[in-house]
Every structure is written in C-alpha cells, then in structure tokens.
Chains A and B, each alone.
Chain A
Amino acid sequence: MADTILSMLGSTLRISLPIILCALGGMFSERCGILNIGMEGIMLLGALFGAIGSYVSGNAYVGLLFAIVLGAVIGLMHAFLTIKCHTNQIIDGVAINLLGDGLSILLLDLVWGNKGKSTEVAGFATLDSIIHDIPVISDLFGSLNILFLMMIILVIASYFYVFRTPWGLRLRVIGDKPEAADSMGINVERSQMLYVMVGAILAAIAGAALSIGSIRYFSKGMVAGRGYMALAALVFGMWHPILIFLSGLFFGFIQALQINLQVYDFPVQFIQMIPYVITIVMLVLTSKNNKGPKNTGKPYIRGIRE
C-alpha cells in the first residue's frame, strides 16, 4: 500500500511538471495583458525542437536550448502580431496551435523521414543516480530529472519577481491599467513583447519536458491537451506562481489517481472523466472571486479611451 501511494505521488510530480511550467509561462503572458491560448502549439513545437536539438548533438541540454530558441521565436511572432498589429489574441493563439500541428509533422518528416515519430534521442538523466540510496526520497523524486529542479526554482523566482520587485509591480500595472503604466514612463509595448516571449519560452520548455524529459521520442500530437490543461491551472491558480504550482500539482494528482483507479473494476469512461469534471467544478467554484489581470485580451493603443 505504502509503495502504491509513493509511486502515485511520484507519478503526480511527473505529470504536473509540464503543466506547471506551461501555466507559469501563461502567467507572464496574461499578467502583461496578452492572452496566449497557443500554449498547446508552442508546447508541441518545443517538444519537437527539444528532440531535434538532442538528435543532432546527442545532448539533451542542446535540445533544451533549441526549445528555448523556438519558444522565443514563436513568442516574438505572437507578440508582434498581437501588440504591434493588434490582431485578435484568441485567433492568433488558435493559429499557433494549427501551425504547431502542421509544422511539427512537416519537420518530423524532413528530419527523420517519418510522419509519426522520431527515433530515440538523448534525454535528461534521472535524479535516481544521485539520490538512489535515500529510501523514500528516491521513490518520490528518483524518476524526475533536472527540469524538475529548474521548475521549482522558476516558481520561487517568479513569485519574488512578480510580487517583490519593482519590475514585477510594473508588470502587474501593465496588465491591469496599461495607460497608467504608460503615464509612469513605462514602455508598455516593449515590456509586453518581452513577457510574451518569456511565456512562450516556458511553454516550449514544458514541451521539451515531454519529449527529451520523459519518453525520449517526439511523436505526433504528443502534447495531447496539456497546453489547455495548463491554461486551466493558470486560472485555477489565480495568476499567482505559488498557487499555479499547487493547482498544477492538484491536476497531476487527479490524473495519477485516475490512472491508479483504473486497476479496479469501475467503468473506465467514468474514471477518465474525473479530471475534467473536477477541473470544471473547481473553476466554477473559484471563478466568482477570481479575477485575472483586468486588461487582458485587448491591445493597448496609446491615446484611445474606452
């Protein structure tokens, strides 16, 4: 029994890692006022570029670097179109998701000559070799890798950045009242572009956590809705790094529970429904007092009053 619980908790951490990373990226984007529902597509391309980098170099860290560059490029694109060209942020996000679907298959075919999956590539070493001898700790964290530590550091750093530094204060002002930020001499558009890129980079790293961080392949469509789940975790986590971390863990736990419940003889469709039902229930329960940044979704155009 204790073993089962430990392995389920380990599973929780593994499942929640990409969701938390991606939701954290979404937080930076939405905190500065730019919606990015293209997270799913960015994760997919991040997973692909992680695999490509790892494939060409034989080193997972190079893969991570590839994913980061890819995230920056897509982020810049989304930022340019939504901030400079004032395109609808939702439509642009959908476009990114469609782009991810198509482009990933095209590149998969170009690099590996196969439209379904890559060959096996180098992945991150698990922490097991370091903490192998510590009983409970190794069961919990042994199958995780360096990306998990990175995620923890990013969550804490983001918290301090957003709530304890002057730059974080400016970020929050931009998302709530960009004209106020502008009048204080903050360059709104430049800040927004920067944060959208940061957000996309985090989403791309989340994608790489699936390919080079987990199964060491890229396979078509492998993100399987995690980008959208991250958006739910972002709202559920009230755009707050620590709460996002906790809500990501909660989603991971529900998923791990769902997996383990399948061993028993319940109708499987019912069990598979649980995470989604709980997501909806929790969102309904929390959304009443849960307001995001006030100006998200609207482009900031200087001198225009509502």
Chain B
Amino acid sequence: MKKLFVILAIVLICIGMPLFAGGSGEKTSGGNRIAVMYGVGGLGDQSFNDNINNAIIAAQETLDFEYDYVEPTAVSEFETFLREFALSGDYTLIISAGSDSADALNKVAGEFPEQYFVLLDSASAQDNVISVTFKDNESTFLAGYVAALSSETGCIGVIGAMDIDVINGFIAGWEAGARYADPDIEILRMYCGGFQDPVTAKEMALQMYARGADIIMGAAGGSGLGIFQAAEETGNYAVGVDSNQNPLKPATIMMSAVRNFKPVIYSILSDSFDGNVETGLRNVGIAEGAVECTFDGSEVQVDQSIKDALVTIEGEVREGKISVPSAL
C-alpha cells in the first residue's frame, strides 16, 4: 500500500513538473521576440532588475514585440538558461542582466555566432554582443558632492554589497565627488557582504552614524533598505541608488543616484528590430541621459546654493571637463 502510494506520487510529480515549469507560452511567427535573463536578485528588487523590466514594458507601448524572461536563483544556472534561449532560435535579442552573467554569456555567445545578445552592466568582447555599461560613478560623484557640502559633521559614509568592480565604481564616484567639494571630508566605507542582507547593512549604518557620519549612501541592492531604516531611527540621512528611492522615506532619503534604463533599452530594441544591430560596447553616462542625481520625491531640505553649484558641476561632468574616476 505504502509502495503504491510512493509510486503514484512519483508518477504525479513527473507529470506535474513540466506542466508547472513550462510557462513559456505559445510561439507566434513573424513578430519580434526578446528574452531576458535577470540577475539573481530577481524581479521585485525595486532596483536593477525592476528598472530593466519597467524599461522593456515601457518600450512595448511603442514597439511591437513579445517578451519572455527567466529569474535564475543562482549564478550556476545562467549558462543553461542562455543556451536554452539561444537554442530555441526564437529571439531577435537575448538580454542578460548583470555583470555576474558575463562569463556565461561570453561562452554561450561564442557557441551561437548568429544569435545577437545584450549584456547589461558589463563589457563583452564577442562580435555578436551589444554590451552596455553605466557610468554610475558620474551620478554618485554628484551625490557625493552634495553630501559633502550638506554634511554637518564633516563625515559621510558608503556601504557597498561586495568589493567588486561594479560596486566600487559607485563608491569611487561618491568619494571623488565628496573630496571635490571638500578635500578634508572624512569618508567611511564598509561592505556588508551581500545584496540580500539588510539586517547587516543596518548594523553597519548604525555603527557609521555612531562614529559621526550623517549621510550614508548604499550601493548594496536590497541590503540598502537597512541603511534607510538606520538613518530614520537615528535621525540622519541616506542616499538611494539605481532607482529613485526617495519616496520610500521622503524625510530621510536626501537624493538618489539613478540609472535611466528607458532611453538605453529603447534605442537598442528599436535599432535591432529595424535590422540595424550595432554590437560593441556602449558606455553611457550623464551625457546620454542614462544616469542622474535626483531630488524628486525627497522632503529633505538641500540648500539652494548647493543645488545651483550642482548644476554647474553636472555640466562640467557632461562636457568632460571633470573626469570622474571609475575605480578605487
């Protein structure tokens, strides 16, 4: 009896699995179709992945295409998903979101030279890959500049997720901007060890505030929420990144250093659908409207004189008069 039950269960699971797993929908011929593989943070991060998703949905209003996506839960799954997408041959573009997918993408792109890929947040040397990198250091430079001028204690902080190039790009801009405004500013820097550990990030922020910092930027994905909480509890300020996080805690989040995926994604998609795929690296920043430092939605008072100075600095960065370091 027990055995029968076990066999029955196994059979049911075997039948059920493909039913639940295979949600890719029916094929339609003719139209354009793209596939997106998101980073392990997945949708709902209100940051990197959500921004890309929103940009694609926005592009769907004017462009006619279908859109499939997967949310891998581990780096080890990247290669399989990319190869599955490429093997199907259904897609005009296969978009891979996040620098940690670069290795998998390079490998799969080499296997399918006829398939076009897009790599967001990292550069690829493959001929069939459009890679996009953001000059986040330009937006965090502006945020660091404002923070240093607004700080009352002469001490600001930054909490990164990990000691890796992409994160350090954010931090390098922040520190350079702060020093540009005030060469004597003290800057605390910590790494919380992951993108999904807001509790540790909060603890780090509390320690920084206790050490005299009064404005902290998070470059830590989902962990950044902990920083905002610490700032609110201690009556200090925080700075958001990636998307405009000001509305989350308007009285606490002073500004956000944001990426605008919409113009970038739109131009890549519309060019590709028109048949003009331009592979190679696109390194986009303030000049392309791809990054900015925004106060929208924040209720924190920033001196008008600082905002005026910011406009000047922003212009100089745009024109290349100030060159912002991209690495620590």
Contact = CB atoms under 8 A, between A and B. Distances in A.
Contacts of A3: 210
Interface stretch (A49-57, A193-201, A212-220): A212-220
Contact of A224 (B44, B189, B196, B206): B196
Contact of B194 (A105, A224, A260): A224
A268 B163 CA distance: 7
A9 to B, nearest CB: 11
A8 interface: yes
A172 to B, nearest CB: 33
Nearest to B160: A268
Contacts of A255: 200, 203
Interface residues of B, number: 33
B222 A219 contact: yes
B44 A7 contact: no
B44 A215 contact: no
Nearest to B49: A116
A242 interface: no
A262 B196 contact: no
B265 interface: no
B144 interface: no
Interface string A40-81: 000000000000000000000000000000000000000000
Contacts of A14: 203
B42 interface: yes
A22 to B, nearest CB: 13
B225 A117 contact: yes
Contact of B203 (A114, A220, A259): A259
B279 interface: no
Contact of B199 (A105, A214, A260): A214
A150 to B, nearest CB: 18
A238 interface: no
B41 interface: yes
Interface in B218-272: 222, 225-226, 229, 233
A272 interface: yes
Contact of A272 (B193, B196, B206, B226): B193
A116 B44 contact: yes
B44 A222 contact: no
A14 to B, nearest CB: 7
A221 B196 contact: yes
A11 interface: yes
A4 interface: yes
B202 A214 contact: yes
B190 interface: yes
B188 A117 contact: no
A116 B198 contact: no
Interface string B171-199: 00000000000000000111101101111
A220 B199 contact: no
A224 B43 CA distance: 19
B207 A259 contact: yes
Contacts of A117: 44-46, 222, 225
A220 B190 contact: no
A115 B45 CA distance: 7
Q: Residue among B202, B204, B225 with the most chain A CB within 10 A?
A: B225
B196 A108 contact: no
B211 A220 contact: no
B46 to A, nearest CB: 6
B191 A272 contact: yes
Contacts of A115: 42-44, 71
B198 A7 contact: no
A222 B42 contact: no
Contacts of B189: 262
A256 interface: yes
Interface string A244-282: 000000000001100110110000110010000000000
A143 B199 CA distance: 14
16 contacts: A7-B207, A7-B210, A7-B211, A11-B207, A115-B44, A214-B226, A220-B44, A220-B196, A220-B222, A224-B197, A259-B190, A259-B203, A262-B189, A263-B188, A272-B191, A272-B193
Interface of B: 41-46, 50, 71, 73, 163, 188-191, 193-194, 196-200, 202-204, 206-207, 210-211, 222, 225-226, 229, 233
Closest 6 CB pairs of A and B: A116-B44, A115-B44, A7-B210, A221-B196, A224-B197, A262-B190
